[in-house]
Amino acid sequence: MHDVLWQHGARYIIKLDSGESSGLYYNDGPGHYLYLQPKRNVANAWVVKPGNRQIPNHPPNTPSPQSPHDWYESQDGKAPALCWNNPGDPDGDPLRFYAEVYGSAVNANSGWQNGTCWRPGSLDGQYYTYQWHVKAKDSKDAESGWSTTWHFSIKAPDNPPSISFDTANGNSFPSGRIDSRDRNWTFRGTASDPEGRLGRIEFRCSGDNCGYQAGHTDGGNWSHTQNDMAGQNDVYFVAHDNPKDQQTASRHLDLRIDLAAPVTTLSLNNEANPDRWPAWFTSAVAVRLHADDSNTGRARSGVSQVRYRLDGGAWQAQGGSDVAFTVSSDGTHTVEYYALDNVGNQESTRSVTFKIDQTPPSPPGGVVETHGVVSGQWQKAHNTPTFTWAASSDAISGVWGYQFYFGTDPNGVAYQTFLASDPRQWTPQPGGVRTGTYYLRGRTRDNAGNWSNWVTLFTFRYDGTPPENPKEASHAAGIANDT
């Protein structure tokens, strides 16, 4: 029956006669038909119900590669995951896929699989250029055509370069730090790349003052010269390779360039302000030197030693930042001193001069009463004494002046002061003295402030009072007085 319908191009036909072929036929294309059996006759028309249907099967749509992009290069030595789309099936059937890598010395395929990605792991380490495509198959085993062909390459891994920072001005700096006063530096080291594609060596520096580049050589034995550096700087180098520009950093150098000399403070008897020092010290002088290192930026190497000498003698060196000694001899003294830091910066020599006089001057002497009165003798001729005296001596600081006492106290110390430049003459009581014994006492002061002891210089005795008349007299021969 179907053949008849197909040959005549019929689409619908109703055969009204009876028999097994009676019914409604629907033409569904070559080799296919839908037969609808009648249910009941209503007003010369057929009411039909579905019957058996034979559905035609169409091949799947062709998938398309999605990733990685065409001509992708894998740099890690491993095959990439190959992915495609699911294009669907015209008949809605589920699909499986078959991916194939071909056209190289080593090939692979995924076999039929449900997923839309596959990584051909068997190609890992096989450094070639590959082609790949994919096709689909439905559940009725109908297959699509092959997809567009894409390409990828597997490259040998590009490992990063290595670098060794070996020396700075010949110093291997095992501690990672260098303290110095040098401003010009040449850094050396080695570098390599596993693939032999070593690129440039880059100088990197941060800190107080990195100076300027004065020379540079790349390569396996590299060097770099940097001038006019100062302060604290962090220095290291970076090796680059080609073509990926992978980078490897060297170890770091903490480079501290200290250009500043220490500064030393001197104190005498714990006083560092020279304005407060006396012109003359009257006791032994404790000398103390303390040095502090100065800094350049953040670089400070610290004080190494203090050097000093007294009165032009041999230089003495004391490690560390402090020196203490005592000067006890009289006279004028000069202390010269300077400090050095740990990188050799030397302070300019400085000096301080001070004087010591611990010895008192000689006391006043050579006292003469100008009227000729003799010390200790009674007399009545003069009651207004005037005294002169000889100059005292002081071998160190010199005589400053005198103090004198004149009175009846043999231990008296109330005084009249005379400078060494004043006339050495004194009339203690211009109005005269009464009858009695008087003592002239004195002492000498030197310019350092030392005093001699009080000494009695002259005893002045004056008697201006006549004796009383006798009240009665007797004769030696016993003759009575006739009154």
Q: How confident is the model at residue 132 (pLDDT cuts 50, 70, 90)?
A: very high
Strand pairing partners for 462?
379, 436
pTM for the complete prediction?
0.66
Q: What are the two backbone dihedrals, phi and then psi, of residue 206, each rounded to the nearest 5 degrees?
A: -145, 145
Q: Sign of torsion, CA 306 310 311 315?
A: negative
Pick the CATH number of 263-356 from 2.60.120.10, 3.30.420.300, 2.60.40.10, 3.10.620.30: 2.60.40.10
The encoded tokens of residue 270 equal 């714990």
pLDDT above 90 (res 481): no
pLDDT above 60 (res 339): yes
Q: How confident is the model at residue 332 (pLDDT cuts 50, 70, 90)?
A: very high
What confidence tens digit (pLDDT) does each residue in 51-69 have?
455 678 999 999 999 999 9
Q: Contact, 284 vs 356, CB < 8 A?
A: yes
Class of the CATH-defined domain 166-257 = mainly beta
Q: How confident is the model at residue 387 (pLDDT cuts 50, 70, 90)?
A: very high
Q: Contact, 203 vs 224, CB < 8 A?
A: yes
Alpha-carbon Rg for the chain in angstroms: 63
Distance CA 330, CA 285 (A): 10
pLDDT above 70 (res 377): yes
Class of the CATH-defined domain 365-462 = mainly beta
What confidence tens digit (pLDDT) does each residue in 435-471 have?
999 999 999 999 999 999 999 999 999 999 988 876 6
Predicted local confidence at residue 236, as pLDDT: 98
CA 217, 222, 227, 229: dihedral to nearest 10 degrees? 140
How many CB atoms within 10 Å of residue 306? 23
Q: How confident is the model at residue 473 (pLDDT cuts 50, 70, 90)?
A: low
pLDDT above 90 (res 482): no
Predicted local confidence at residue 157, as pLDDT: 86
| Range 354-364 average pLDDT | 97
Sheet with 150-154, strands from edge to edge, namely 72-74, 150-154, 129-138, 95-102, 108-109
Same CATH topology for 263-356 and 365-462? Answer: yes
pLDDT above 50 (res 41): no
Predicted local confidence at residue 55, as pLDDT: 75
Predicted local confidence at residue 51, as pLDDT: 46
Q: What average pLDDT does the structure give for the chain?
A: 90
pLDDT above 70 (res 22): no
Residue scoring higher pLDDT (230 or 14): 230
**How far from each other are the two terminal CA atoms of the chain, in whole angstroms?**
222
State how far the alpha carbon of 79 is from the alpha carbons of 119, 151, 243, 420, in Å. 7, 12, 20, 112
Q: Where do the structural domains in the chain lie, given as residue ranges?
A: 2-49, 65-154, 166-257, 263-356, 365-462
How many CB atoms within 10 Å of residue 116? 18
| Range 237-254 average pLDDT | 95
| CATH homologous superfamily of 65-154 | Immunoglobulins (2.60.40.10)
Q: How confident is the model at residue 369 (pLDDT cuts 50, 70, 90)?
A: very high
